[in-house]
A and B are shown apart, each in its own frame.
Chain A
């Protein structure tokens, strides 16, 4: 039992508890907050494995972007009626079946997977340097990510233009 395993257990408990709370809470704002804890816990796992870049991206994109966007959307769209809709019988049955199927699938995958726990025993920050990530992102060689990178930027540009079209003054 070394410090890394203790940290892993702490993070795993945080992630599991806040994931459960995200789906069972009735207030949409609390759900967003618990989701935020889940995402931060995931970032903590990345830091634990030494992937600091991925961890920082997780915090930046999900905390600085997605959650703020959610909270903004909640603030702008709804007033005091922020609780969820009532549960009907068919809704409960359908969601129970869906969650059982999802649980079974995830459990099956976990049990057939051969985990290589010993590979990640020693966290090392220099598994992947910033320079390597940057070069791969903009290279056209084997394993280069230039095309997806540019495709995503075109997509984002389209989103911005569409947003301007919707929000412009007529």
Chain B
């Protein structure tokens, strides 16, 4: 398997030979930040096109098909339109907080984005508490949403922000418990170690069989709710709240919320593919050496992106199939069903690990 750390090590040594260490680290940090921002924008464009096409097919439509071949340039046209739009200034609002809110949301999403394992040796942030760090920084986004609701000084955003806050805080419990279940199996929280373990011993969803499968299904439900997407898109339910917490935003400030929504979807899928489906680890079947050799020849980033887009497709399938829930139904689904199930599942996984019943 190709190890990306060869390239990063080479770059580090090259910079060290020219400039002192602190400058080398600074240059590397700026480079990594540029890479993150570029990837962020590129994936947002891909995901928005994918969402519109898949939504169209689920509703027996064609989706965008006028701008460019198969509507491929539609998203670029939308982006240019949004970049040109005026950022409106409203009276009787707290301008500072109103303009700050989108940056909270987008920063939280970028920090979690940087934790994803792209390839062997290609991690941007790799702490020994990786998964916990993801859970921690993703909670910064809630503050941004609440500030957006308050800073707009309008009823719809306020209701949307309250709903969103309640919903995200509730569903974070399920996400945390399912991740805890999988950490119980892997025994480490470091993302690179989790993936390397799966490359050596098989994907977690096969190793952990029944409890891992239950955790995966719960994660798929709670992940959609974390991203404020249907059937849990009440914070921005357009028929009752116009657009929820970003009703009063225009231009690129709205664009940041839009970007963060799609990238949060990608990040939720990326984390699912990391902790359940093995990240960049190729599919191995014990005994079939030729097959394993072919699978090893496929680069890790292809595996990671393939799995992630598969999970993104599952999320979109869920979104466009089910009708929207009511807010009390959403909260009772979490507190009365998902959380007890995931707690029982955690105990089940602990038993499986204690009696060494995993594969």
Q: A: which residues have CB within 8 A of B?
A: 1-3, 6, 27, 29-30, 33, 36, 40, 52-53, 56-57, 59-60, 63-65, 67-68, 71-72, 74-76, 125-126, 129-130
Contact = CB atoms under 8 A, between A and B. Distances in A.
A119 to B, nearest CB: 20
A74 B127 CA distance: 35
Contact of A63 (B132, B143, B162): B143
Contacts of A56: 127, 129, 132-133, 135-136
Given A2-B22, A3-B21, A59 B165 contact: no
A96 to B, nearest CB: 28
B96 interface: yes
B133 A68 contact: no
Given A2-B22, A27-B94, A59 B150 contact: no
Contacts of A65: 139
Nearest to B166: A72
A2 B21 contact: yes
Contacts, number: 86
Contacts of A2: 21-22
A57 B136 contact: yes
Nearest to B183: A130
Interface residues on B, range: 20 to 34
A76 B22 CA distance: 47
B146 A3 contact: no
Given A59-B136, A75-B146, 16 more contacts: A3-B25, A29-B94, A29-B97, A30-B97, A33-B143, A33-B147, A53-B129, A56-B132, A63-B136, A63-B140, A64-B140, A65-B139, A68-B139, A68-B143, A68-B169, A125-B127
Contacts of B189: 130
Given A3-B26, A68-B139, A75-B158, A60 B132 contact: yes
Given A1-B22, A125-B128, A30 B143 contact: no
Given A29-B97, A30-B97, A60 B150 contact: no
B137 interface: yes
A67 B136 CA distance: 13
